[in-house]
Amino acid sequence: MKEFARQMEIQSCCDQVNGQHLHYLHAGAGRPLLLIHGLLGGSFCWRFNLPVLAQRHSVYALDLPGMGLSDAQRDCNCSMQAQADRVLEFIEHEKMAEVDVIGSSWGGAVSLLMAVDNPKIRSLILCAPVNPWSTLGSNRICFFTGLVGSMLLRYGLRYGGRYHRPALEAMYGDRSRIPPGTLEGYGELIQRKGRGHNLLNILQNWKHDVETMTAVLPRVSARCLLIWGTHDRAVDPRSATLLQEAIPSCRTVMVDSVGHLPFEEDPEVFNRLALDFLNEPEHAMGN
């Protein structure tokens, strides 16, 4: 990870937010843009996007507490709502008047909760965000929050390195597109001490967080762009239609033959879509 930061010529920073350690990468100047990673990810996820986005924006790629390089205690509340509150505190701490946010998967759900009745969140770009209409993985969540499943989860993250590659390949529409160093980068994050406990806390709060999201989606005040890979096997692409209808100002772009990580699998297309959306006149938004 240190080598990644050196290559990108960006700042590696640390802060305290509500008593929790927060690591983030920062580059560029202009209107603030926050990057919120998905489950078991971190600022590493945005290695192909940050240098491009930073040409026009002041970009902050966060490692949310309990994920990435932001280690947290085993009993840390890592729920979607708690993370949303922490990011909003970070925005206040940095004295940001108005921000754009890009969020992926679980981080997309965190981003949505941040934007409820919040004029500071100018716009959202969400990559396959967790939402109430996708049930993919619900059985796995139930299993891993049980007694046996939770033990296997903690052990598997820490010592089950041989299972990391199949899990990563499932995130891609075409596994031949996995860039060199990707498995090693994610492995470093997944195997950090205490990561299994932090993930378990997220899963234990999952149902409540998604139910909360269902109620507040009509109050999302930011304009929103959904970006979804047609070959996503983690969050159902068919849920995009219902999610778009639930958010007041929202539209969707489907990226052909791409899986759950469009910003990583096809960064050139993703960066173009993101910059076009971020820099178009706000009145141009429409469903």
- Return the pLDDT at 4: 47
Q: How is the chain split into domains, by residue range?
A: 2-284
Q: What are phi and psi of 216, to 5 degrees?
A: -105, -10
In this structure, how many other beta carbons lie within 10 angstroms of the beta carbon of residue 72? 21
* Tokens 């981003």 belong to residue: 111
Distance of CA 268 to the CA centre of its chain: 18
Beta bridge mates, 103: 36, 126
Mean pLDDT of the chain: 92
Quote the pTM value: 0.93
- Return the pLDDT at 283: 58
Contact assessment for residue 105 and residue 129, using Cβ atoms and an 8 Å cutoff: yes
- Return the pLDDT at 150: 85
Q: In whole angstroms, what is the distance from residue 75 CA to residue 94 CA? A: 27
**Between 139 and 71, the higher pLDDT residue:** 71
Confidence of residue 287 (pLDDT cuts 50, 70, 90): very low
Q: In whole angstroms, what is the distance from residue 30 CA to residue 130 CA? A: 29
Share of the chain above pLDDT 90, in %: 80
- Nearest Cα neighbor of 239 from 224, 249, 254 is 254
Handedness of CA 47, 83, 187, 3 (dihedral sign): positive
Yes or no: domain 2-284 corresponds to CATH 3.40.50.1820? yes
Q: What is the average pLDDT across 248-258? A: 97
Question: 189-233: per-residue pLDDT in tens?
Answer: 998 988 999 999 999 999 999 999 999 999 999 999 999 999 999
Question: 10-67: per-residue pLDDT in tens?
Answer: 899 999 988 899 999 999 999 999 999 999 999 999 999 999 999 999 999 999 999 9
